[in-house]
Amino acid sequence: MIVVTGGAGFIGSNIVRALNEQGREEILVVDDLSDASKVVNLSDLRTTDYVDRTTFQREIVDHGLPAKTTAIFHQGACSDTMATDGREVMQTNFTFSKNLLEVCIEAQIPLIYASSAAVYGRDGPFAVGVKNETPLNVYAYSKYLFDQLVRSRLSACRSQVVGLRYFNVYGPREAHKGRMASVVYQLFQQFQSQGSIRLFEGTGGFPDGEQRRDFVSVKDVALVNLYMLDHPEASGIINVGTGCSRSFNDVALAVINTCRAGRGEPEWSLQDAQQSEAIVYFPLPAELNGKYQSFTEADLQELRALGYADEMTSLEAGVRHYVHHLQGNAKA
């Protein structure tokens, strides 16, 4: 049986879907459904059991992992980078993860868990290595601290432990995340409701809307997780992105042109969108000063060294697929 913590969440439910597509259905979902809207992420998936997160945390400390557990995908976390309750973030992201690591090591069960590119801080570089890690908020610190714990235990582990540092993930099943949903989701909603998209004015030496991030499709993220499961010899901390940064203007234009194509309208250039005020710019909020990443780009050296050779979905193809998905009123 495969355990997926955060299995009703964004990335967790996409991992369950990918497992189902491989014919794997012996899956235990662990989550907190106090936000009942997440149930929609499970309604079309095939699983065998569900356990509340708090109950699961208590059970693994008292009794270890459930019987017949073969692997853990640990995706359950507080993912709000603006969270101010540090105690809650550390309890959810660090203490729970630490307890899970200990029982997995003891039982020699593979643990594949979600880390984050947030550990690299504002400026990077975005290559795996302690010297590059400068977390700027409690969310990033919780991920950084657990990665450090994993590093300290790896040499003694007789089973797989993999930390996947996700960059800017977008795709289906994220609507419940609200303001923490991906940029692609947010820009689509803006364009649908207002006919225009608002981006930040220039920051960090980048012109208006030209700040760049590594935007990665959740489909690719799920496939990397499954690849790790099928390669138990792989362990360590690994970046998961496309390896190619793209601007927020690129994302906005991909959203706009996908919507325009659906209406039979010609494709716009960035200049067309700006002149028509379909893209407008506003100042960076004061609370983000000194904390905003104007550039990210995953160094994929470790991922490629482990033999993962699949090409990542291009931004245009990924946004087009996701916008069509959203327009079809399917799971967001």
Of 177, 219, 227, 308, the active-site residue reads 177
Tokens of 56: 């699961």
Output the pLDDT for position 331.
Answer: 57
Cβ–Cβ under 8 Å, residues 199 and 208: yes
Output the pLDDT for position 86.
Answer: 81
First-to-last alpha carbon distance for the chain, in angstroms, is: 27
Domains and CATH numbers, the chain: 2-168+215-243+297-312 (3.40.50.720)
Residue 144 is among the residues annotated as catalytic for this protein? no
For 140, what's the count of Cα atoms within 13 Å in the CB-facing half-sphere? 17
Q: What is the residue-level pLDDT of the chain in tens, covering all 332 positions? A: 999 999 999 999 999 999 999 999 999 999 999 999 999 999 999 999 999 999 999 999 999 999 999 999 999 887 666 666 788 889 888 999 999 999 999 999 999 999 999 999 988 899 999 999 999 899 999 999 999 999 999 998 999 999 999 999 999 999 999 989 999 999 999 999 999 999 999 999 999 999 999 999 999 999 999 999 999 999 999 999 999 999 999 999 999 999 999 999 999 999 999 999 999 999 999 988 888 899 999 999 999 999 999 999 999 999 999 999 999 965 56
The radius of gyration of the chain's CA atoms, rounded to the nearest angstrom, is 20
* Helix residue ranges per DSSP H, the chain: 10-21, 53-63, 86-90, 96-107, 138-154, 183-194, 218-229, 248-262, 270-275, 301-305, 315-327
* Cα–Cα distance list, 6 to 11, 64, 133 (Å): 8, 18, 25
In our burial notation (b when 16+ CB lie closer than 10 A, e otherwise), range 126-138 reads: bebeeeebebbbb
Output the pLDDT for position 80.
Answer: 62
Output the pLDDT for position 79.
Answer: 66
Of 113, 120, 139, 322, the active-site residue reads 139
Residue 331 is among the residues annotated as catalytic for this protein? no
